[in-house]
Structures are given as C-alpha cells and as structure tokens.
Amino acid sequence: MFPFDKNAYLERFSKIRKQTINICKPLAVEDFVAQPIVDVSPPKWHMGHTTWFFEALVLENYLQDYKDFDHRYGFLFNSYYNTVGDRVQRPDRGHMTRPTVEEIIHYREYVDEKMIHFIKSESEKIDEHLSYILELGLQHEQQHQELLVTDLKYILGMNPIFPVYKDYIEEVPDSKDTEVKFINVEEGIYEIGYQGNNFCFDNELSRHKVYLNPFRFMERLVNNGEYLEFIEDGGYSRFNFWLSEGWDWVKKQDIHAPMYWHKIDHKWYHYTLSGLEEIKPDDPVTHISYFEADAFASWKGKRLLTEAEWEVVCQINEPLPNKDSNFVEKENFRPLPCKNGKMQLLGDLWEWTGSAYLPYPNFQKSDGAIGEYNGKFMVNQMVLRGGSCATPKEHIRNSYRNFFHPNLRWQFTGIRLAESL
C-alpha cells in the first residue's frame, strides 16, 4: 500500500479542491441549480457532495469534537451511501434552491480548513485504512469534476440558445490521420487488473490471467465522417444492425443521431461547450450510447473490443498518458482529430467495450460505506475504458474501469472497432 505523505497530500488536496471551483467559474448563478434529467446533477450539488464526502467519511469519524457545518447537509448531499444515512433522492436534487451557492462555498471553505488542520495535526496517526479513505476522497472529487463538465454540457446544451461555457482555441494537429489502420494482436495468455503500490479502486482488483484469441483493432477512434455514413445509409432505421433492446430504445426515444447533433438547413451541427458548431468530419464521434456503438460496429461488419482486449492493447501500446493525450487540463472539452501515429487510447473519449461490468476473480467488497462505492453497481452496465477530454490526467490508468447503462450518452463516449482473426 502507498505510504502517506502529509505535505504531498496537502498540496494535492488544495489543488484538486480549487479545480472544482475553477470549473464552475464561467457559470451564472442560475446554472448551478438546473437538473434537466435524472442522470445530470446540478453543479451546486456536486460542490456540496464532494465536500460532504470528506466531512462524513473523514472528519466525523476521525477528528475529535468535530462540529458539522450544518446537520441538514448530510441528508442533502449524500448520494447513494445507505450505510451513512438517509438522503434526498437523485431526481430531486434540482429542487434544492437552498442552500445558496454562496452558502455551499462557505461549507467548502469550512470543511477544507478542518481537513487541513486534521492532516497537519494527526498525520502520524494515519493508518493504512484512513490513508486509503483520504486518497479516495481526492479520487472521488476528480470523478465529480468530470461529471461536472459533462453535466454542464447537458444543462447548457438543452438550452435553446446554445450558450457558450468557454471559447475554444482551435488546435491544428501536426498532421491528421484519417486512414483506417488495424493492428494485429496475437493469441495468448495475458494479465489484466491493477498492478502496483499506488491507489486503485477495488473494482480493478485482483490482477488475473485472461486468454485472448487473435484479434485486431482500429488504430484510432471512429470519426464523425464515418458515423455520418452510417446515418446516411439508414443506420437508425434498419433493425438488423441493432440489439433488440437497442432497437426498442431507438424507436421509443426517436433517436436519429448522436446526442447534441442538430440538422439545420441540410447541414449537421452539434452543441459544444463553445456553442453550436458545424460537424467536423475528422473529429472523433462522441456522445453515443453503447447501443449506437454496437450498431455501428455491426454495420461495419466489426465489433467492439472486450475490456480485456482493450487493456492488453493499452498495456502494449500506450501504458501511460503522453504529452499529446487530450485530458481536461488542456481545456479543449472535446475530442480532437487523431494525430499521425497516435492511438488515442488514453484521453479524448471513453471507449465502449463489449463487456458487461462484473467483478474480477477474488473481488472483495469492503465493509461500510467504502464497500458501496463500486460493487453494488455490477449489474446491467457496460464497461468503458480510457478516460476522456473531461477526465483529469492523473486520475486515469490502463486498468481503470468505468461503467454506464447501455442507453446513456451524456458522457464523452466513443467507438473503437475490432474484429476476430
């Protein structure tokens, strides 16, 4: 287990907590309360919830004589931790006009001050279990920073005037790589799962062997131009490409294109955090569901990578993020065209895999609230890999397992094709 370093932790604590506030700086007060759909939480709630996490799991349990900032906040900002107590149900988070944004900022400042005092005064008493909880608090806040970006995009993207969150500075790639290339991977026994002494989530354990048949994978992500061909070929009206549940979803929800796409005067546009823009063919297609990713792969006569295949590919080709990896720190808030020779495995988009979210061999769920973090969601969800343009760079690794229901698409999700040999 990683050792606890007081000074390093305090530095990261300050940096990560400030980043949440920085993401919210471009917002108007009215933006903080909106909850257009159940999957999207108001920015104000994210600010309160990430603060409550430190208060409930650290300060209330470990800081002697700690006094809650407001005893009602536990009920307002608990998300899904039954162990900790009752909570406002998720669809009702947008009803919280009070406490105000200003009061929540004061709440964050109060808890930050108490956390800094606790770390400075009690660092010698921090054991392995508490060290894990402290690190989990930072990782948890980084997850919510990504959710903040994606939730903000949905909140603003559903506004009929398509408001600008932040102006986009165009990056011109050295050379765009639009050629379709596939790379072979030999059959064999490989190992996947977290390996090391630093932090990982419990769902990344334990490391184990997998047998893979030979396959090949697309070197880059599928782009808008390729997805437009699917649309123009009647992809959304031909049932034979779709899983049965996906076809029902398409018909009931009247889906004809990825989320945020709008056809105006015979041209395709999409909403970005810089406003409404015309679709660029070389940009990776994003905001699609697992159903759409699977249907596109079927239309191409291909399939999606399994999560084991994806992790092996990443271990071999891009085990760590590189200087060109497109994460939230670059403030692009969108996937970028593939640069020549770059595989886009880490950053840009979360990639749907063809694997259900299930426990690894010997998975052990922790006791208490920590045990509710991942394990209880291992049903009816699909695994995504790789991080996105909204993910903090230091938060991702090649063993990281994200998961969502197959119909969801408000996250920055994309497609990489594969086929068996």
Q: Could you write out the DSSP letters of every residue in 151-209?
A: HHHHHHHTSTT---SS-------SSB--S--EEEE--EEEEES--SSS---GGG-S-EE
**What is the pLDDT, as a whole number, of residue 373?**
87
**What is the pLDDT, as a whole number, of residue 173?**
56
Sign of CA dihedral 5, 6, 8, 13: positive
**What is the pLDDT, as a whole number, of residue 170?**
65
**What is the pLDDT, as a whole number, of residue 220?**
95
Region 172-180: mean pLDDT is: 70
Domain ranges of the chain: 6-157, 182-420
Q: Is 26 helix (H, G, I), strand (E, B) or coil?
A: coil
pLDDT band per the 50, 70, 90 thresholds, residue 169: low
Cα(77)–Cα(81) distance, integer angstroms: 10
Helix orientation angle between 43-54 and 6-24, rounded to the nearest 10 degrees: 160
Q: Is 402 helix (H, G, I), strand (E, B) or coil?
A: strand
Paired tokens of 59: 């300060």
**What is the pLDDT, as a whole number, of residue 83?**
86
**What is the pLDDT, as a whole number, of residue 175?**
61
What phi and psi, each to the nearest 5 degrees, are found at residue 212?
A: -120, 130
Q: Do residues 81 and 49 make contact, with C-beta atoms less than 8 angstroms apart?
A: no
Least trusted range by pLDDT, from 92-101, 167-176, 177-186, 274-283: 167-176
* CATH of region 6-157: 1.20.120
Please give the span between the terminal C-alpha atoms of the chain, in angstroms, as a whole number. Answer: 40
Q: Do residues 144 and 46 make contact, with C-beta atoms less than 8 angstroms apart?
A: yes
Residue 133: other Cβ atoms inside 10 A: 19
* CATH of region 182-420: 3.90.1580.10
Region 51-68: mean pLDDT is: 96
Cα(88)–Cα(44) distance, integer angstroms: 14
Cα(409)–Cα(286) distance, integer angstroms: 8
Paired tokens of 249: 């979803």
Cα(289)–Cα(407) distance, integer angstroms: 5
**What is the pLDDT, as a whole number, of residue 82?**
87
* Secondary-structure breakdown of the chain: helix, strand, coil percentages, each rounded to the nearest 5: 40, 15, 45
Beta bridge partners of 345: none
pLDDT band per the 50, 70, 90 thresholds, residue 174: low
Q: Do residues 192 and 210 make contact, with C-beta atoms less than 8 angstroms apart?
A: yes
**What is the pLDDT, as a whole number, of residue 171?**
62
Whole-number mean pLDDT of the chain? 94
Least trusted range by pLDDT, from 173-182, 204-213, 316-325, 397-406: 173-182
Quick check: pTM over 0.75? yes
